[in-house]
Amino acid sequence: MGRTAMTREYPKKPMPTDAMTQPSQGDSVVGAKGHRVDVEAHLPKPKDTCWRIDSHTLAKHRILRGYLQAWLPIVGTSFPRIRLIDGFAGPGRYAGGEPGSPIIMLRAILEHAARATISAEITFVFIEEREDRFEELQRSINALRAVTPFPANVVVGTRHGRFDQLMPLIAPADETQRPPTFAFIDPFGWTDVPMKLNSSILGIDHYEALIYVPLPFIARFVDDPAVEDSLTLLYGDETWRTARALSGEARIEALRSGFETAMLKHTDYVRAFDIRPDGNRGYTLFFGTRSLRGLEKMKDAMWSVDPAGGCLYSDTTDPNQEVLFRPEPDFSQLELMLRQRFAGEVFSIEAAELFVLEGTPFAKSHLKRRTLKPAEAAGRLSAVDPAPGRQRGTYPSGTRLRFQT
């Protein structure tokens, strides 16, 4: 007989004494002057079990769904076990009935067109601190199971407690025993995601994380001595202090680049994606991975997101290359980036593809037909010593190119 789908509901119990003890969202910590303060009292946090969904959360969910649609069939057919973690799972639904991130993650496999080919055991771990939301989360999962029975290779575990305390207990000490893992880390504030914990996720092969950081709120209160300790935990050092000498967009940019730099100490590739509900900037998702394939699929997901409800998305990894994700990209931007990178050089198509993937906000699919082919047709690009029979506007392996000056 085949395996049956399982749901593991872990008991609600006090955290072990050796667990990490960083402050939770809304908790007080010892401030720079030794007095206890509520470091996130200014953040708008819902008090009800379920609350109304907002536009930037809908945007985050579209990104999450798009990436998992690409990630699951790749790792799910290459490894015997994979794992997905939601560190701040919430109740599983919103006040209007919209699905929360745990349900979106489950639906990504349950409704996937290639589900039958994904043979790996898929373990979901959903962490929620508040008891009422934890109980509602379990009800939300059971309601989904009643409508769509879970396949035998799907295992769901719910854990009641704090992410910063439970996450170190989830990962086996032996890295060789850790399956490929995707972690969605989306807290209300920032005190629950110290860089020490993020580095334990990012520094492992086949581990990827999508992390939300509320940069506008941090920028607003970065001068307050009461938040110094929590920001040092978030960044892993005191580089965030450089933002204090700046204001406005420059302050937010300093905080963004500082967090990206902190992540790059522990992983190979980082992209920062800005979500702009109603055009307002500042809701930033950081994606970290050690896999070029993972980077490629996240960028594909970002470019495929529908900018619904007037929400704009942009890649803000490099402030000099900021690009809006939209249905009709401005490929002249990509051509300019390529020209600047390969000015006066003969370069291979492979080098161009790698640069687009690693060094620009654009996707690899934007390179050949949408950028190089029009440039060659207009005489701005030429092939160097092309292979016999090579047709203009095609770029097989080994093609060498040069931009005209």
Rg (CA), the chain: 23
pLDDT of residue 373: 97
Q: What is the DSSP letter of 393?
A: T
Instruction: Residue 383: count other Cβ atoms within 10 Å of its Cβ.
Output: 18
**What pLDDT digit, counting tens, does each position of 366-382 carry?**
999 999 999 999 999 99
C-alpha distance from residue 259 to each of 140, 287, 311, 373 (Å): 34, 11, 24, 37
Residue 57 has pLDDT above 70, yes or no: yes
Residue 9 has pLDDT above 60, yes or no: no
Q: What mean pLDDT is reported for the chain?
A: 83
Through-space distance between the first and last CA atoms of the chain, rounded to whole angstroms = 68
Which domains does the chain carry? 6-325 (3.40.50.150), 331-403 (no CATH)
Give the pLDDT band of residue 174 (cuts 50, 70, 90): low
Report DSSP letters for 271-284, one per residue: EEEEEEGGG---EE
CA 153/CA 77 separation, integer angstroms: 12
Lookup: tokens for 222: 């970065």
pTM reported for the whole predicted model: 0.82
Of the CA atoms within 13 Å of residue 254, those in its CB half-sphere come to 18
Mean pLDDT of the 375-394 span: 95
Contact between 128 and 102 (Cβ < 8 Å): no
Which residue, among 386, 381, 387, has the nearest Cα to 403 in the 3D structure?
381
- Buried/exposed code over 174-202 (b: 16+ C-beta within 10 A; e: otherwise): eeeebbbbbbbbbbbbbbbbbbebbbbbb
CA 222/CA 250 separation, integer angstroms: 13
Contact between 180 and 82 (Cβ < 8 Å): yes
C-alpha distance from residue 393 to each of 249, 337, 384, 385 (Å): 41, 19, 13, 15
For 97, residues 6+ apart whose C-beta sits below 8 A from its C-beta are none
C-alpha distance from residue 169 to each of 3, 84, 190, 348, 398 (Å): 26, 15, 20, 46, 48
pLDDT of residue 73: 94
**What pLDDT digit, counting tens, does each position of 282-337 carry?**
578 899 999 999 999 988 888 877 555 455 667 777 766 666 666 678 899 999 99
